[in-house]
Amino acid sequence: MSQSINLEPINALDHTAFVGAFSSVFEHFPRAAEGAWSERPFASPTALHDAMMDVVRKMDEQGQREFLNLHPLLSGANIRAGTMTADSNAEQKSAGLDAMSPADETTLDALNAAYLERHGFPFIICVRHYTREGIFSALERRIGRNTQEELDEALAQIAAITRARLNARLRSLN
């Protein structure tokens, strides 16, 4: 990926243009782009992504929890209602969450509620890396884990999600 992306134009963007181009990479969190801008020039797409992730990683636990709570629940109803960002909508559709049976939707809603109650933030997974069945299995398994493990896992999943989103943005800008 890094060999095919020319970062010179990205590195030359002023603050407003840079934030405008990358503010939606992180769900409802333009602060990642705002914080990364001062780290220019970026030698690679990985360096750009790392700078954005560092904004999240450097937050205290309460800030990270607030950040995680900006993310939508996995939900067929949310897809149909159009209440999510375009990226989240496309990602959840890619896993078939828009085509679940009523029984699966009820199960997913119950699992989401149990996870949220236990950990205090929504279940986050890079749905493009899983089948619908794999998502259900991971959710069932991760409900029982301790919350610190889940906080770490959620941030790792965010890194996978945002890496793919950033790569798509960079391809569209080149």
Q: How many domains does the chain have?
A: 2
State the average pLDDT over residues 53-75: 96
Provide the pLDDT confidence category of residue 156 given band limits of 50, 70 and 90.
very high
pTM > 0.85: yes
> Are 72 and 105 found together in one domain?
yes
CA dist 3 to 7, 22, 40, 43, 150, Å? Answer: 10, 20, 18, 10, 34
> Are 32 and 93 found together in one domain?
no
> Are 86 and 17 found together in one domain?
no
Alpha-helical (H) ranges within 30-101 are 31-37, 45-57, 61-68, 76-81, 86-94
3-state percent breakdown (helix, strand, coil) of the chain, nearest 5: 70, 0, 30
Q: Is 71 a catalytic residue?
A: yes
> Are 150 and 71 found together in one domain?
yes
State the average pLDDT over residues 126-138: 95
The pLDDT value recorded for residue 149 is 97
Provide the pLDDT confidence category of residue 78 given band limits of 50, 70 and 90.
confident
The pLDDT value recorded for residue 97 is 92
Lowest mean pLDDT among 61-65, 94-98, 105-109, 124-128: 94-98
Burial 82-113 (b: 16+ CB within 10 A, else e): eebeebbbebbeebebeebeeebeeebeebbe
> Are 115 and 152 found together in one domain?
yes
pLDDT digits over 30-61, tens only? 999 999 999 999 999 999 999 999 999 999 99
Q: What is the spatial distance between Cα 8 and Cα 42, in angstroms, rounded to a whole number?
A: 9
The pLDDT value recorded for residue 58 is 97
Q: Residue 10's domain is classified under what CATH number?
A: 1.10.3330.10
> Are 76 and 54 found together in one domain?
no
Domain range enclosing 125: 66-157
Catalytic residue among 15, 71, 119, 129: 71
Provide the pLDDT confidence category of residue 1 given band limits of 50, 70 and 90.
very low
Q: What is the spatial distance between Cα 48 and Cα 165, in angstroms, rounded to a whole number?
A: 12
Provide the pLDDT confidence category of residue 153 given band limits of 50, 70 and 90.
very high
pLDDT over 50 (residue 90): yes
The pLDDT value recorded for residue 2 is 41
> Are 83 and 104 found together in one domain?
yes
